[in-house]
Chain A
Amino acid sequence: MSGSFYFIIVGHWLSTPPVFEMESLPAEKAESKDDHRHLNQFLAHAALDLVDKNMWLSNNMYLKPVDKFNVCFVSAFVTAGHMRFIMLHDIRQEDGIKNFFTDVYNLYIKFAMNPFYEPNSPI
């Protein structure tokens, strides 16, 4: 699978900085995308509005692609504590992304159990 992904974890307060941020680009595109890193943030940030709206409409933590911009899909996953995992991807791959979210959720829970970790602070 090639395609670029952008993953970000956002705390549930509006004013806190993103908790975690990561980009994964296919090798050949690594340089060309460098100038557009801010675009991912813009998209993820704009999608938050829809995530906030959609999470009350679904019983699942995993929200299917909530937003779409040009070729970019935005999938989201909202934990019970309203941590919002957001994934930008340019290929449709719901199962993979869902599994990824679940894995990240497990990891995040383990991390959050650390008594020295202050919730919503950057990891």
Chain B
Amino acid sequence: MAAMAAGGPRRCRRLEAEAARAVLGAADTLLFDCDGVLWRGEAAVGGAAAALGRLAAAGKRLCYVTNNSSRTRAAYTEKLRRLGFPPAEPRHVFGSAYCAARYLRQALPPGAAAYVLGSPALAAELEAVGVPHLGPGPAALPGPAPADWAQAPLDPAVRAVLVGFDEHFSYAKLCQALRYLLRGGPDCLLVGTNRDHRLPLEGGTAIPGTGCLVKAVETAAQREAFIVGKPNRYMFDCVVSEFNIDPARTIMVGDRLDTDILMGNSCGLTTLLTLTGVTTLDEVKGHQESDCPARQSLVPDYYVDSIADLLPALGD
């Protein structure tokens, strides 16, 4: 694939015309981040559905890889359908909730449970793979004060603490999580769905992301969590276990350098940045001009202003 010189720095070239036709032609699989790439909130990026429609018609495999832990795979397939994207099955969607559930199913001994700081979606994905769990929702406490919380029962089956996006996060839940981690020591896993520190909302504001909650638990427990989401490679490993993927014939499309592009680069994929999300070209240039190898690994092979720009290369 004419994507990148082995070992050379990535050049973040605009993907258009002949290069676009060649790069897309040589790919079997495209992995798409969702927020900021396919849609923003409930609004699809103009032309994105059409571009994906043409890719699907050309026989490309399309998968969706997202750090968002608040939705199930089923909810993502429904959203894709609702916004006019080509039909997808849940098996094409790799959300951090689903992948965290898979990780725990594989890492926990049979019958072991997880204490979850997270959303109903995260609980649903754990349910679907058969991992017992407790915790989502507001803390169920025997009294209002910390002294009462020492009486809250610890479930003997819990062998993992899982941290995802949790709008009910509180000091009480942090206490409970820490009690499980102190009780179990290294035998109690600490897993986080992702480290995104901000969740952008429509209109330009943002709320704190899961990364903040993971950091709070890690600081309290004085240990590091295993992180399922991008840029770590576990979610890519999930894709590989489901489909026959050749990294040399796979493109990762995303809007964030430190998650999408970094994961794609680390896994040996061709990486394509779209500017419809959080990243600007100036940021990329800053990394390109840096001497620091860690920053260099944030630079994508290619960029487009929007994935709609791929349409001309996909014409008949």
Q: Real complex partners, A and B?
A: no
Q: Which residues does A use to contact B, with CB under 8 Å?
A: none
